[in-house]
Amino acid sequence: MFNTYVVTFIFMRTGVPLWMAILGGVLSAIGFGLLIDLLVIRHTKKVSPVAKQIITLGLIMVVLGVTPLFFGVDPLNLPRLIQSGNMTIFGANISYNGLFNIIFGLVVMLILFFVLQKTKVGLAVRTTASNEYTARLMGVPTKTVTMGAWAVAGVLGVLAGVMIAPTTTVTLNLMDVVQINALIACVLGGFQTFYGPVLGAYIIGVSRNLLLVYYSSEWGGQVLYILILLLLVVRPYGLIGKKVVKKV
Amino acid sequence: MLSENEVLRIENLSIQFGGLKAVDNLNFEIKQNEIFGLIGPNGAGKTTVFNCITQFYKPNQGSIYFRTKDGQVENLVKHKVHEIIRLGLVRTFQNVELVRELSILDNVLIGAHIDFKSTIVEQALRLPRARNEEKALREEAEMILRKLGIWERKDMIAFGQPYGILKKVEFARTLMCRPSLIILDEPAAGLNDVETAQLSEMIRTIRDEFNCSVLLVEHDMRLVMDVCDRICAISFGKFLAKGTPKEIQTNPVVQQAYLGTTEEDEHE
Amino acid sequence: MSHKEKKTSEKNFRTYIRNPYLQFIAFGLILLIVPTLASNFRFFKVGYITTIGVSLIYAIAALGLNVLLGWSGLISLGTAGFMGLASYLSAYITINMGLPFEVAMFAAVLIPTIIGILVGLISLKIEGLYLAIATLAVSEVLRKSFEEFEWLTNGFSGKAASYPTLFGFIQLDRASMYYFIVFVLIIVMLITYNIVNGQIGRALNAMRGSEAAAQAMGVNLLRYRLIAFAMATIFAAVSGVLYVHFIRYSYPSSWSLKLSLDFLAMIVIGGLRSIYGTVLGAFIVFAVPDMFLKQIPYFNQISYSLNGLLIILVIMFYPNGLVYIFKDIRNVWRKVIGKGKVKHVVRK
């Protein structure tokens, strides 16, 4: 959210083309992620997972409070990357921009999958995630991996923000809906695989709109929640998740 | 079913995971006040056997007859995992499973869980029955800790205690419910020679003083040969041999399974 | 007195002070006196009674969450939903149905608890983050219901209630309502203390520490999960009833994910598995920003950030909860008096 503001700021104040402003935002996001890792995450090795969640909550509060100091409280507007033009697929209207978003999203996913699964860097990330101590013993530079992970997270965040922003305005609450739905997508798709949450995200996005339009514009969102709840009862580890059995 | 002097009898016990038969048609029986050993090379299925006995796994086939504290005979397969202790059968865990944040005394008191009869309301308001129960069971727990020589540590937090002490605490916990059969899951794991010898002593003491039987699942041959009255050896889930320590030691089938050779082979 | 007599009377005094029940009562007395004391100091605004009162109300709900998460290891993001449901039910029963406060309290606690127990049933199959999302789903459905079921809740306009009338004739006002809140809080603290230090508490701890060991020791996981969820929901519901009769209004927007997360923050910051810590956490997350941070002139703008910063700092330095700061203070005090070795006490 913060970095989406950065992008908008750069775009509006300096008049450079949008893609360059986005690049600026990406750089800022990298710096931001690194900063968070260095200042906060490094010092929180000993805390429980729940406590870590609370720390991220605290971070959100800090950023939420600080952003208006930099960018003011009025909502800003960020235009789409592809300004106008629609096309028709299977009888449905879709803007070029929307199409671009979908394709771009898929491309980013594929790149991530490839890096994580097929490259040495990806292996380093996965080992660190699995067991940091052992990874370090095996010579994996875990500190760098963690820094890199936060930087990448920041970049993905700003990209998501830039894609969402044109549909509403750039405000403090820009990413609220995205965050919750992202979490739910992970739960839906299961944490065990990489493609699970992606699948979950697409399912949620599509179902939500379908329900809102065809079923009820008020209850659509909650019906989705209920459906997910029922799904969890049937498949407690998400659509694709697998249970990790503890050896007794 | 069960003869007079038997406390546990396994009949035709089988369980499979997917295509793999982890335990295949196993039979043995444990007599009253006996210290019985279950041995086998790595992967033989010892842990699976006793997870089946304690109902952490449900066997696909077979019966497990047990003489309860009240003298009844029950087929354990018909019971849920948390009901087993009520019948008088307790187990220890290889990775000592204590609650790290609680004191040693509190951990032992968990073993008395089924002995508490007071209701939620009585406990919430600390009515006399709850208070008296707590006091009586606390005293019993302290007595057991004294017997095992660790009473001084009763108020210390379990986290950070030496491994040997934690194992004793687990022992103490199993004794709280006055079981008729205790299953020990690799109790010698991680202990040195001195500690293992002490363990032998402790197992014998427990059997004598608490009048129970012991099923010992173990790798450490010295401990097994030293302390067990009878032993059953298995390999790849199948029965190999059953008898006294001496008989097992000289049994060629057992040697074959462990070492891949027999004495005869060696002489050639 | 002779030396021996002096030592014994000192020891008796110390046993008195150490008695946890007397400590809780003393704590309650201190809380009762706070408003009257503070009104003598100029900086203490009258509105602060409301802030402190609400903090105490939140502490009750947070205590329920602590039983669920801290002691039983089960996570719920649904606390706000249940609290809201209870608030609306109590308001409706007292205002629309005209029934006495006691009836409202009973029904407003019973109904959410039934739902809470149903959620507990689900918890057998679902765990961890998945359970968190499931509880969030329940809470969100409830919140939407608050917006839509206008016959019960008045929708977005909010539902009004009034100060309660106890036993049909004792009409409370703001000050006496505050005393009532303190009273309820101390009772809740006492009950929690009794339960978590007895057999049920040990069973909950065992369930959290090792499900396998708990089952081997005869703990019926389903039963104790339900107990945990029931307690958490009951406390949240009581808290909701107190809230609507103290603030005298309930809006759907209050009962959001943010509030559930605030409760989570309260118990983590204050101290998981700590009763006093929960109250401390409620103060830090709710009262401190309201009362102190907003005072410092320039800081008003960034009070939200400062609150977040406070949360981060507390967890970084006191990952087990700020309540342990008292242990540090005690150790420093001992060193200062020169009592010698520092004592390591079992944290109850």
Helices (H), chain C: 3-18, 20-38, 47-66, 79-91, 101-122, 128-148, 150-153, 174-196, 199-209, 211-216, 221-247, 257-270, 275-282, 288, 303-317, 325-337
On the question of pLDDT at A159 being above 80, the answer is yes
User: Among candidates C29, C31, C85, C90, which has minimal Cα distance to C59?
Assistant: C31
Tell me the per-residue pLDDT of A89-136, one tens digit each, with 9 for 90 and over: 666 667 777 777 788 888 888 888 888 888 888 888 888 877 878 888
A-chain residue closest to B52, CA distance: A248
Helix-strand-coil percent breakdown of chain B, rounded to 5? 40, 25, 35
Helices (H), chain A: 2-14, 18-39, 49-71, 96-118, 120-130, 132-137, 142-164, 176-189, 195-210, 220-234
Name the least confident of A138-152, A172-186, C154-168. Answer: A172-186
| C1 in contact with chain A, both atoms CB, cutoff 8 A | no
Whether residue B27 is contained in a domain is answered as yes
Tell me the per-residue pLDDT of A193-230, one tens digit each, with 9 for 90 and over: 777 788 888 888 888 888 877 777 777 777 778 888 88
| B125 in contact with chain C, both atoms CB, cutoff 8 A | yes
Option in B90, B97, B124 nearest C210 (CB):
B97
Tell me the per-residue pLDDT of C250-298, one tens digit each, with 9 for 90 and over: 998 889 888 998 898 899 889 889 999 999 999 988 888 777 666 666 6
| B110 in contact with chain C, both atoms CB, cutoff 8 A | yes
Measured between beta carbons, the chain C residues lying within 8 angstroms of B99 are 205-206, 208-210
pLDDT at A10: 75
Option in B111, B125, B133 nearest C217 (CB):
B111
Domains in chain B, number? 2
What does the alpha-carbon distance between residue C59 and residue C141 come to, in Å, rounded to a whole number?
24
Region C319-347: mean pLDDT is: 76
Sorting pLDDT into bands at 50, 70 and 90, what band is C190? very high
CB contact under 8 A, C216 and B99: no
Both B78 and B105 in one domain: the answer is: no
Tokens of A50: 């729940």
Option in B126, B130, B155 nearest C346 (CB):
B155
CB contact under 8 A, C312 and A47: no
Tokens of A126: 């996965």
Please give, rounded to a whole number of angstroms, the shortest distance from the CA of A248 to a CA of chain B. 8
Contacts 24+ apart (CB under 8 A), A193-198: A193/A240, A193/A241, A194/A112, A194/A113, A194/A116, A194/A117, A195/A109, A195/A113, A195/A240, A196/A238, A196/A239, A196/A240, A196/A241, A198/A109
A-chain residue closest to C143, CA distance: A222
Q: In what order do the strands lie in the sheet with B6-17?
A: B20-31, B6-17, B61-67, B73-75
Tokens of B4: 């007079």
Which residue matches tokens 């009844």? Answer: B72
Both B81 and B115 in one domain: the answer is: no
Tell me the per-residue pLDDT of A34-65, one tens digit each, with 9 for 90 and over: 888 888 777 777 777 777 777 887 888 788 77
| B17 in contact with chain A, both atoms CB, cutoff 8 A | no
Measured between beta carbons, the chain C residues lying within 8 angstroms of A219 are 144, 148
pLDDT at B266: 47
Q: What are the extents of the domains in chain A?
A: 2-171, 175-243
Give B213's strand partners.
Answer: B181
C-chain residue closest to A185, CA distance: C133
Whether residue B264 is contained in a domain is answered as yes
- Indicate the average pLDDT of chain B: 89
Please give, rounded to a whole number of angstroms, the shortest distance from the CA of A180 to a CA of chain C. 10
Q: Please tell me which chains touch A, using 3 or more CB pairs under 8 Å as the contact test.
A: B, C
Tokens of A22: 């986005």
Highest mean pLDDT among A142-146, A176-180, B19-23, B139-143: B139-143
Chain C (117-176) residues lying within 8 Å, Cβ to Cβ, of chain A? 122, 125-127, 129-130, 133-134, 137-138, 140-141, 144, 148
Q: Please tell me which chains touch C, using 3 or more CB pairs under 8 Å as the contact test.
A: A, B
Please give, rounded to a whole number of angstroms, the shortest distance from the CA of A55 to a CA of chain C. 5
What does the alpha-carbon distance between residue A216 and residue A200 come to, in Å, rounded to a whole number?
22
Considering only residues B159 and A171, tell me which one the structure prediction assigns the higher pLDDT. B159
Whether residue B118 is contained in a domain is answered as yes
pLDDT at A68: 75
Chain B (90-109) residues lying within 8 Å, Cβ to Cβ, of chain A? 93
Both B14 and B84 in one domain: the answer is: yes
DSSP secondary structure string, B60-128?
SEEEEEEE-TTS-EEEGGGS-GGGHHHHTEEE--SS----TTSBHHHHHHHTTGGG----HHHHHTT-H
- Indicate the average pLDDT of chain C: 87
Please give, rounded to a whole number of angstroms, the shortest distance from the CA of B15 to a CA of chain C. 20
pLDDT at B268: 42
Measured between beta carbons, the chain A residues lying within 8 angstroms of C307 are 61, 65
pLDDT at A87: 67
> Three-state SS for A199?
helix
Measured between beta carbons, the chain A residues lying within 8 angstroms of B101 are none
Both B160 and B209 in one domain: the answer is: no
B-chain residue closest to C196, CA distance: B124
Sorting pLDDT into bands at 50, 70 and 90, what band is C348? very low
On the question of pLDDT at A245 being above 60, the answer is no
| C231 in contact with chain B, both atoms CB, cutoff 8 A | no
On the question of pLDDT at C205 being above 90, the answer is yes
Measured between beta carbons, the chain C residues lying within 8 angstroms of A180 are 257
Considering only residues C37 and C239, tell me which one the structure prediction assigns the higher pLDDT. C239
Please give, rounded to a whole number of angstroms, the shortest distance from the CA of B126 to a CA of chain C. 6
What does the alpha-carbon distance between residue C97 and residue B226 come to, in Å, rounded to a whole number?
77
Whether residue B93 is contained in a domain is answered as no
Please give, rounded to a whole number of angstroms, the shortest distance from the CA of B133 to a CA of chain C. 10
Q: Please tell me which chains touch B, using 3 or more CB pairs under 8 Å as the contact test.
A: A, C
> Three-state SS for C337?
helix
Measured between beta carbons, the chain C residues lying within 8 angstroms of B114 are 217-218
Region C97-112: mean pLDDT is: 93
Region C323-330: mean pLDDT is: 87
Tell me the per-residue pLDDT of B196-233, one tens digit each, with 9 for 90 and over: 898 999 899 889 988 899 999 988 888 999 999 999 99
Size of interface B-C (CB pairs under 8 A): 96
pLDDT at C294: 60
**Residue B74: which domain range?**
1-88+178-268
Whether residue B94 is contained in a domain is answered as no
CB contact under 8 A, C312 and A40: yes
Option in A50, A62, A184 nearest C133 (CB):
A184
CB contact under 8 A, C199 and B118: yes
CB contact under 8 A, C203 and B113: yes
| C69 in contact with chain A, both atoms CB, cutoff 8 A | yes
Whether residue B230 is contained in a domain is answered as yes
Tell me the per-residue pLDDT of C60-90, one tens digit each, with 9 for 90 and over: 999 999 999 999 999 899 999 999 999 999 9
pLDDT at C174: 86
Sorting pLDDT into bands at 50, 70 and 90, what band is B157? very high
pLDDT at B85: 94
Measured between beta carbons, the chain C residues lying within 8 angstroms of B106 are 202, 205
- Domain stops at, among B177, B207, B239: B177
Q: Which residues contact C314 (CB under 8 A, 6 or more apart)?
A: C269, C284, C322
What does the alpha-carbon distance between residue B248 and residue C146 come to, in Å, rounded to a whole number?
73
Chain B (56-95) residues lying within 8 Å, Cβ to Cβ, of chain C? 56, 81-86, 90-91, 93
User: Among candidates A210, A230, A212, which has minimal Cα distance to A221?
Assistant: A212
pLDDT at A241: 64
C-chain residue closest to A229, CA distance: C134
Which residue matches tokens 């609306």? Answer: C88
Query: What CATH number is given to the structural domain containing B256?
Result: 3.40.50.300
**ipTM score for this prediction:** 0.89
What does the alpha-carbon distance between residue A202 and residue A208 come to, in Å, rounded to a whole number?
10
CB contact under 8 A, C134 and A232: yes
Measured between beta carbons, the chain A residues lying within 8 angstroms of C129 are 186-187, 191
Region B167-172: mean pLDDT is: 91
Whether residue B18 is contained in a domain is answered as yes
Between strands A86-89 and A92-95, the pairing is antiparallel
Both B182 and B51 in one domain: the answer is: yes
Tokens of B150: 């660790």
Both B184 and B247 in one domain: the answer is: yes
On the question of pLDDT at C124 being above 60, the answer is yes
- What's the DSSP call for residue A170? B
- What domains, with CATH codes, occur in chain C? 1-44 (no CATH), 48-337 (1.10.3470)
Name the least confident of A24-33, A90-99, A156-165. Answer: A90-99
